[in-house]
Copies of this chain bind each other. A is one copy, B any other.
Amino acid sequence: MQLSNMLRFKMGWAEPAGPSHEVVLSSRVRLARNLSGRPFPGRSTPKATAAVLSEALAAARKAKALAKAASILLEELEETERVFLVERYLISRLLAQATRSRGVVVGEREILSLMINEEDHLRLQGIDSGLCLEKLFDQTDSVDDDLSRSLEFAFHPDWGYLAACPTNAGTGLRASCLVHLPGLGLTGQINRVLDGLSRLGVVVRGLYGEGTKVTGDLYQVSNATALGPAERSLISSVSKVVGTLVQRELEARRSLAEGSHGTRLEDLVYRSLGVLQNARVISYEESMQHLSYIRLALSLGWKIPASLDAVNELTVLARPGHIQMLAGRALDAGERDFLRASLLRKKFS
């Protein structure tokens, strides 16, 4: 498979179609599964790891929802291609590093995907637009059923699904949403609101998960542990927290758009547009800040030469690995900043 072909197709979640998509860029559900009687990938032998890969790929081919999926073997990829897949949320940085007998199965529109031999033998993911954790759980749950017909999962009657890391044991479920909170940022409420979230059993992180920076007012909200409540109850508690965040953010946006705040916001938005249309050199972080204001304005219904799906997609297209994939080769930071600026000018002309 030629990975650069993926550049020509829109990622499913980028289309602003789901509920509350004006605030929730994407929802993501992930199930961790391990094969019974096999060592976890981190403690496995090359031979055992290879066996898991081939069994998992075979099982995936039989899963209905993955019928048209593409199978990608990590060891066949260049470094730039692995970075590209990380940026598209299809593989983790961990999988990108340990490539031997590692793989990923990518479904249509990149909504469903299955990492093989990451920290756990299987990591099944569903990602889509808006606040749609229930729907994604149904979809991944159905793939999980199909896979379990071919594979025997490590499951303990008391502990539930076993996983390499205890925080993933139990349901093996992580539910997260990528939320855009420029309104709470600009009205100075963001830190107070995020502090409040930690008491509600959720964790807040930057754009690319643990230890990554918050950029472009984008935050990842997910459940803190996979143990304990049943899947639907975990899903529902994350959904509720995110639902409340959506309300708070929309209130903040309304207050920003009104009265004397309005001019300040208009100034921010149009200056951002001016930079996106004119810069000749721009970093990812700076472009994300401008895209954040553009996205905010679009959600308020302002008539500006941009669309929500283009802006959503650019959060990924403007990343270093995607810029390299566009160029067809590895680039230094200066070259990337130059090409990123060209890409943005084209998109906003």
Contact = CB atoms under 8 A, between A and B. Distances in A.
Interface of A: 263-264, 266-267, 270-271, 273-275, 277-281, 338, 341
Contacts of A341: 267
Contacts of A263: 280-281, 338
Contacts of A273: 274, 278
Contacts of A270: 278-280
A311 to B, nearest CB: 17
A256 to B, nearest CB: 14
Q: For A263, A273, A274, which residue has the most chain B Cβ atoms within 10 angstroms?
A: A274
**Majority-rule SS of A interface residues:** helix
A210 to B, nearest CB: 34
A338 B279 CA distance: 24
Contacts of A274: 271, 273-275, 277-279
A277 B275 CA distance: 10
21 contacts: A263-B280, A263-B281, A263-B338, A264-B281, A266-B280, A267-B279, A267-B280, A267-B281, A267-B341, A270-B278, A271-B274, A271-B275, A271-B278, A271-B280, A273-B278, A274-B274, A274-B275, A274-B277, A274-B278, A274-B279, A275-B275
A282 to B, nearest CB: 8
A270 B264 CA distance: 22
A261 B267 CA distance: 30
Nearest to A281: B267
Contacts of A278: 270-271, 273-274
A264 B334 CA distance: 11
Q: Which 4 A-B pairs have the closest CB atoms?
A: A274-B274, A274-B278, A267-B280, A270-B278
Nearest to A267: B280
Contacts of A277: 274
Nearest to A265: B280
A274 B273 CA distance: 8
A263 B278 CA distance: 12
Nearest to A345: B270
Given A267-B279, A270-B278, A271-B278, 8 more contacts: A266-B280, A267-B341, A271-B275, A271-B279, A271-B280, A273-B278, A274-B274, A274-B278
Nearest to A282: B267
Contacts of A338: 263
Nearest to A276: B274
A267 B280 CA distance: 4
Contacts of A264: 281
Q: For A266, A277, A278, which residue has the most chain B Cβ atoms within 10 angstroms?
A: A278
A335 to B, nearest CB: 10
A281 B270 CA distance: 10
A247 B137 CA distance: 70
A263 B338 CA distance: 8
A266 B341 CA distance: 12
